Amino acid sequence: MCKLIIHEKVSCALFYFSKSCKVVDINRNGENCLNKNHIITLKLREDEADELADATQIEFVEEDVCVRASMNNENGTIDNAGWHKKESTRIKKNRAEDEWNIRMINGDKVPRNRMMKKKVKIAILDSGIDYGNDIQLAETVTLVPGEDGMSPLFMDGTGHGNSVAGLIAAEDNDEGITGIAPNSEIYSYRVLDDDNCAPISRVVEAIYMAIDREVNIINMSFGVDVYSKALAQAVKDAEDAGILIIAAAGNTGKKGVQYPAALDEVIAVGSVDKNGDVAESSSVGKEIEIVAPGELVRSTGVLGDQLVSSGTSLAAPQVAGVAALIWEQDLNASADFVRALLNESANAYGNEEEYGNGLVDAQYAMEHYKEFKKSYKKNKNAKLKENTAKVLSFEDTGCVKGSWSGKDHENVIPSSNANVKLGARFPDTKSYKDTKDKYIFRGMSDNPWWHGYEKTNYVAAYIYITQLANKMQYSGTVALPSGLSGKVKGEIDTAMAVLGKYWSKELNGNSVTKKAKRDFVWGMAIHTLTDSFAHSAHIWGKNDGKWVHLVHDPNNAYRKNPDYVGADDITKCPVRWENARSAVYAAMCQYEKTAHPAGTYQEFRYVQSSTTYKLGNIYAYVMAVAGYNKASAFRNSSYSTK
C-alpha cells in the first residue's frame, strides 16, 4: 500500500474503483482544503493507482512524497542588473548589537516600523512556532495528526519553526534576537512533524489555508527533489491570489534546487556564509533567484533560549523579512512589485546559478523604493542602478556555540533547554499504557495531573512533579505536598515508572544522563503548570451571566455557543497565554536556581492580573498547598464550579 494524492477534474471521489480504497486521515487537523480544491488522499495498491490514473475523470495521480526541512540537519529569475566583482569590508569580530547576518544584508540600517496598524501577513509553513517567543502570532495551527490538543506554548517540536519565525518577526524588546520585520503578523501552520518531515498533501492543505487567510507572504523552509502537480497547482493558486511565495532552495549543493523553490512562481533562496560566499551545501541552479546568510545564524530557540543553525532554511526567512519591510510601505502594492524590487536591489556579485540576482539588501531596497515604484508603474521591467556596495564579511560572527567538525557542522546546535522542551510536549504527544491497559499520559480527563485540569489539585501536582524531577539528578527525599491525594501521587508514580523504560526513546537518542532526565521531567511539570491556563480556564459568559468553562470540542455541551470553545486557541482570551508565558519563565527561573528548589504555588500568580478569565478552584488549591494567608492573594480569582 502506498499513499497517493489524487487531483480530480470533478468533485466525485470515485471510490467505485475498489472497495479497498481508503481515505487517508493525514490532515485531520486542517480545514478540509484538499477536498475543497478537488484533491483527496487515498491508500491504494499500485494496480488501483494505475486504474485511477487511466480514468477520464481524474486529472493526475501521484505519490504523496515527503518534504524535508532545508536546515542542514539534513522560477525563472527577473533580469539581473548586472554582475560585478565582490568588494568586502572585513570585520574581525562582530561586537555589534545586531547579529552578523542582519548586518550583512544591511537590515540594521533600516528602521523597524512598530506604529503601523495594518500589518503584513506572513504564513510560515514549518514545524510550528511556540507562542510567547516575542512574535506576533495571529494564528497557530498544527496539521500533524494526533496533535489536536497541542499546547500553543510548545508547538514547535524541533526548533526549526522558531528559528525561521524569529529571523522574520522577533520583536525588538531586548530579549533574544530582533527580527527583520517585527511588525509582521504571523500565521503559523505546523506541517513538519518531529522529524521535520511532511507529506506534500499536508503542505498543500496549509497553502490553501493561507490563501483563505489572505496572507501577503508564504515562507516554506523545506524541500523535496520530486515534482508534484498538486503542490505546483497550490503554489500557482497562491500566486494568483496575490501572495508572494518564498522557499529555501535546499541543501543539496550541485544536485539542484528542490521543490517548491524550483517552481517559477516561487522565489528560490540560496545561502551564503560569513564571507558572503555561497555556502558549499546550498543548492545551486538556474532557479536560484536571490541569496541571504544561512551559515551559523543565531535565532530564536526554545523556552527563552537561542539556537545557532545552518542551511537555506535560515536564508529564506530573511528574504521574507525584507519583502515585508518593502510591503509595509504600501499594503496595496502587488507581489510582483515586491519581488521585482527584491531582485533589482540585490547586490549581484556572483555567478547567476549560485547567487541568482545577488545578496538581498534591505537598505538599498528601501532607499530606492520610491524611485523604483515610480518607474515600475510605467514599465514592469523597470531597472535600478546596479548595487555595488561593499559586502560586510566576518572573521568571527560572534555567535558560534558548540563544537563543529566534519558533517556535524551541518547540524543544529541543540538548545540547552532542549530536553525541557521535549518533556513539556510529551504529555500531548505520547500514549503509554499501564498494567491495566490504561493510557497514563495523554487525555485531560483521565490524567488531569499531567494537564492542569481542575478535576485535581494541579498546583500540588506541579510541585510534586518538580520534586520528582530534582530527585532524578540530586539526592534527597520527595515530600508529598499538602493538597495532593495519595491516589494522585500513586497515579503519577506509576506513570513515571512506565516512563523509566523509555528514556532513550523519549530523549531522541540523546545521552540518558541524570541531568537529561531531570530536564525532561521539569518540562512535564511545566506542561501541567501551563495547561491549567487552558484546561481550567473559565471566561465570563455574558449571555448566560456566569463563568463558563472553556472547552476543546465544539461537539460538547457548549457547542451551540462557539464563544465557549477554544481552550488551546490563542485568540480566545489572549491574556491567558500572556499569563501562561510569564508562568513558564517563572518556572524556568526555579529550574535554573543553583539550590535546585522545587516549583511553588507562586508560578500560578499571573492569573491574578486578569479580570477576563479565571482558573477553576485556584484559590482552594493554593490554600491547600500553602495555607490561608498565602492563598489570600488568589481570593479574587476564586469561585466555585460545578
Q: Which residues are catalytic?
A: 126, 160, 313
Q: Across the beta sheet with 244-248, what order do the strands follow?
A: 137-142, 185-190, 121-126, 217-220, 244-248, 266-272, 288-293
How far is 601 from 621, CA to CA, in rounded Å? Answer: 9
Q: How far is CA 31 from CA 193, 214, 369, 485, 554, in A?
A: 18, 15, 38, 42, 14
DSSP state of 107: G
For 509: left if phi > 0, alpha if psi spans -120 to 50, otherwise beta; the answer is left
Integer Cα distance of 425 and 384 in angstroms: 49
Contact 161, 126 (CB under 8 A): yes
For strands 537-541 and 391-396, give the pairing. Answer: unpaired
Give the integer Cα–Cα distance in Å for 93 and 109: 19
Burial class (CB in 10 A: 0-12, 13-18, 19+), 3: middle
Segments in 446-485 forming alpha helices (H): 458-473
Over 268-336, what HEC string results? EEEEECCCCCECCCCCCCCCEEEEEECCCEEEECCCCCEEEECCHHHHHHHHHHHHHHHHHCCCCCCHH
- Decide if 608 contacts 617 (C-beta within 8 A): no
- Which residues, in sequence order, are bridge partners of residue 458? none
**Residue 6 neighbours by CB under 8 Å, 6+ apart:** 14, 39, 40, 41, 42, 52, 58, 60, 61
Q: Which of 414, 443, 452 is nearest to 528 (CA)?
A: 452
Say how far apart CA 96 and CA 536 lie, in whole Å: 45
The vertex-92 CA angle with 91 and 97, nearest 5°, equals 70
In this structure, is the dihedral angle defined by the CA atoms of residues 107, 109, 110 and 113, taken in order, positive or negative?
A: positive
Tell me the HSE value of 136 on the side-chain side, using a 13 A CA sphere.
19
CB 609 within 8 A of CB 569: no
Bridge partners for 40 per DSSP: 6
